[in-house]
Structure 1
Amino acid sequence: MGTSKQIDSAATGQLRSRPEQPTVFGKPGLHPLQLSEKRDGFLYVPASYRADRPAPLVLMLHGAGGDAEGALIILQQIVDPVGAIVLAVDSRRQTWDVIMGQYGPDIAFIDQALAQTFSRYAIDPQRVGVAGFSDGASYALSLGIMNGDLFTHVLAFSPGFMAPIRQAGDPHIFVSHGTQDKVLPIDRCSRKLVPQLKGADYNVLYQEFEGPHTVPTAIAQGALEWFIQTEPTQANPNQS
C-alpha cells in the first residue's frame, strides 16, 4: 500500500522519483522488472553502460492492447550506439489509466519502476525521456507535460490526444505521424495536437511520413538522435 501522499500524487499524474546516486550495482542486459506477477515490464541496459558515466533513460509506453515487450522492440535495437537505457512498462489494464477514466494505478506503477531504475543505475538528469506509440504516445505527451520537471524530452509516435491535468517544466517534444494512419487519423490527431503544443510555447519537432499506424525505423532513429543531441531547457521544479 502506498502512502496517502503517493496516492494523491498518482491521482494528479505526478511522478516523485528522480535520478539519484545508485545504491545497488545494476548490470547491463535485459532484465524483467519483477514488480508485478501479471503485468510487469523490462529494463534494457546497453553493454556499454558504466556506473561512472550517467546514461540517458527513455521510459517507453505501449499502445492499447499491447505490452512492454512490444514497446521495447521499437527502441531496443537502436539504443546501443548512443548508450541509452530503455524502461518499458505494462499498463495495469489493457491501456493506460487516464484513457480508462482517470490517473492513478499506472502513475503509481511507473513511479515504482522509475524508483527501482534510479536506485540501480546512474541516469543523466538532463536526458530523461518519455516515449510511446499510439495510446502510449498520448500517455507520453500527457506525462511529459505534467512532469516536465523530470522528463526533459517527449517522443510521441502517432498520438491520438493529450490529457494533462497539471503542467510542470518545459520539455522538448517530438511528434511523428503517418499520413495514411487509419487507426488514429492524422488530421484529427497530430495535425491538431502539434499547433496546440506550439501555441503553448513548447519546442516541438514534428515529422509526417507516408505510411500507416506504425513507427518506421528511420523515424525512431531520428527521434532518438534528436533526444540525445537536443539540449534540454532547464526544468523549473516549482512550476505547476
Structure 2
Amino acid sequence: MSEAVVDNIVAVLPPLLQTLESLSFVARNLNPAEFGNVMQIAGEPDEALLAVKPRLADWPEQFSHIRAPLQAAIDAALAGYAGLRAVMNGEGDLVSVFRALRYLPRALEALYPLTELPPVSGFFIAPELREDAELQAKLAAVPNDNTGVFHEGNEPGSRGGFSMYVPEYYTPDRAWPLVTALHGGSGNGRGFLWSWLRDARSRGAILVAPTATGQTWALMGGDSDTPNLNRILDQVRARWNIDETRMLLTGMSDGGTFSYVSGLDGASRFTHLAPVSATFHPLMAEIADAERLRGLPVFITHGRLDWMFPVQTARQTQGLLAAAGANVTYREIDDLSHCYPREINAEILQWLNGAQAADA
C-alpha cells in the first residue's frame, strides 16, 4: 500500500470512528426532552470528519476497494449528523431525528468490510474485550467459509427477509448460540443487525435480524410473522450448527412486544426471550400456554425514563410472568428512555449461555 494512501487512512479513520460513536451515543441517549443536552455532549466530531473528507479524492485505482467503503461510511455519517443539526436549528421534529439516525447503520454496513484494518476491527469489538489477545488473533485470521454479514431478501424497502452475521471464526464442529433480534416499529432487520453485531462478533454468537412482513410486527390481527420466523430459523439451522438449547428471541419496542406474542406460544421453538423497551397486556399472560410459561427464561430490560411505554408496564409484566411460573430476570436502567441500550447485550448473552443473573 502506498505511503500516501496509508497517510490518508490514518487521517480519515479517527474522525470517522468518533463521529460514528457520537451518533451511537445520541441513539442510545435520545430523549425528546433532553435532545439539546444530548447533542451538546455528543459534540461536533463531524466538523473534523468534513475537514479530512477531501483526502479520499484521487486515490490510485488499485485502492478503490478501500476508498469506496470509506467514502460511503463518511457520507452516511455526515448525512446523519446534518439531519440532527437541522433539528437543533428548528428544522424538523422527533421523526426527523429518527430519520437522521437511520444513517448510522448504513455507515456501519459500509465500513464493516474494512475490518482488515486494525482500527476498524477494534471498533467492531466490544470495548471491554478490545485488549483480548485471543479474540484479536481469531479475528485477524483469514475468515472461515460461510461467515460474515449476509442479507437474504432484505434489500432496503423490502419486507419479510432477514440479515444475519456469523462470526468469522465460526466452525461447524460445535453448536453455537443463536440471537434472533427483532427491530422496532417501522424499522427493518438490516438496520437493527448493528445493534447486536459488535457483541455477537466479540462473544461468539450467530445473529439473525429479520424484517417484519408488514410495516411492523403482527401485534393485531393475523400473524404472518411467526411462520416467517420459523422459515428463517429452518433456513439458518440447515446451514449453520445452532445450539437448540440457546435460541434467543429478543427485540426492541414493537419487536420486543412481538417476542412476547410469538415467544409465549406453546409451539415456539425459542428457548429464551429478552424483550427490550416493550409493552405487555395482562391478557397475554392469561392466554399464554401455561406449560410454555413454566420455567421459561425471560430477561426484561426497560428504561425508567421510557416515554412511549411507561416503566410501570414492565414492572407489572415482571410480576405477571413470575406469578405464571416464568423464570424472570428484570433490568431497569435509570437513564434509559425509549432507546436500545446496547450495553445490555453482554449480560443477555451471559444469561443465554447459562450464567446466573441475580434480579435487580
TM range (shorter): 0.7 to 0.9
> What SS class does the counterpart of residue 43 from structure 1 fall into?
strand
Establish whether residue 222 from structure 1 lines up as the match of residue 347 from structure 2. Answer: yes
Partner amino acid for 1:120? R
Change (3 A) 1:205 1:51: same
Q: Offset at 1:192?
A: 1.4
Q: Offset at 1:146?
A: 1.3
> What SS class does the counterpart of residue 172 from structure 2 fall into?
coil
What residue in structure 2 maps to residue 89 of structure 1?
A: 210
For the 8 Å contact 1:48–1:80, the answer to whether it is kept is no
| Higher Rg | 2
RCO comparison, higher one (Cα < 8 Å, 6+): 1
> What SS class does the counterpart of residue 269 from structure 2 fall into?
coil
For the 8 Å contact 2:262–2:268, the answer to whether it is kept is no
What residue in structure 1 maps to residue 327 of structure 2?
A: 203
What residue in structure 2 maps to residue 146 of structure 1?
A: 265
For the 8 Å contact 1:151–1:171, the answer to whether it is kept is no
Establish whether residue 173 from structure 1 lines up as the match of residue 292 from structure 2. Answer: no
Q: Offset at 1:144?
A: 2.0
Establish whether residue 122 from structure 1 lines up as the match of residue 247 from structure 2. Answer: no
For the 8 Å contact 2:163–2:209, the answer to whether it is kept is yes
Establish whether residue 112 from structure 1 lines up as the match of residue 112 from structure 2. Answer: no
What residue in structure 2 maps to residue 63 of structure 1?
A: 184
Q: Which has the higher strand share?
A: 1
> What SS class does the counterpart of residue 48 from structure 1 fall into?
coil
Structure 2's unaligned 5+ residue stretches are: 1-143
Change (3 A) 1:181 1:166: closer
Identify which range, 141-150 or 130-139, moves more after superposition: 141-150
Change (3 A) 1:26 1:118: farther
Q: Which has the higher helix share?
A: 2
Q: Identity percentage over the alignment?
A: 30
Establish whether residue 102 from structure 1 lines up as the match of residue 227 from structure 2. Answer: no
Change (3 A) 1:166 1:102: farther
Q: From 289, 299, 311, give the equivalent of 1:186.
A: 311
Partner amino acid for 2:297? H
What residue in structure 2 maps to residue 78 of structure 1?
A: 199
Partner amino acid for 1:54? A
What residue in structure 2 maps to residue 132 of structure 1?
A: 251
Partner amino acid for 2:302? H
Q: TM-score, normalised by structure 2?
A: 0.53
> What SS class does the counterpart of residue 224 from structure 1 fall into?
helix
> What SS class does the counterpart of residue 212 from structure 2 fall into?
coil
Identify which range, 210-219 or 125-134, moves more after superposition: 210-219
Q: Offset at 1:149?
A: 5.8
What residue in structure 1 maps to residue 73 of structure 2?
A: none
Identify which range, 218-227 or 120-129, moves more after superposition: 218-227
Cα distance in 2 between the residues matched to 1:48 and 1:130: 23
What residue in structure 2 maps to residue 158 of structure 1?
A: 277
What residue in structure 1 maps to residue 84 of structure 2?
A: none
Cα distance in 2 between the residues matched to 1:148 and 1:219: 28
Change (3 A) 1:176 1:166: closer
Cα distance in 2 between the residues matched to 1:137 and 1:26: 32
What residue in structure 2 maps to residue 19 of structure 1?
A: none
Q: Offset at 1:145?
A: 1.6
Structure 1's unaligned 5+ residue stretches are: 1-24, 232-240
Q: From 16, 41, 51, give the equivalent of 2:162.
A: 41
Cα distance in 2 between the residues matched to 1:126 and 1:44: 20
Cα distance in 2 between the residues matched to 1:87 and 1:179: 28
For the 8 Å contact 2:256–2:278, the answer to whether it is kept is yes
Q: Offset at 1:166?
A: 4.6
Cα distance in 2 between the residues matched to 1:143 and 1:230: 25
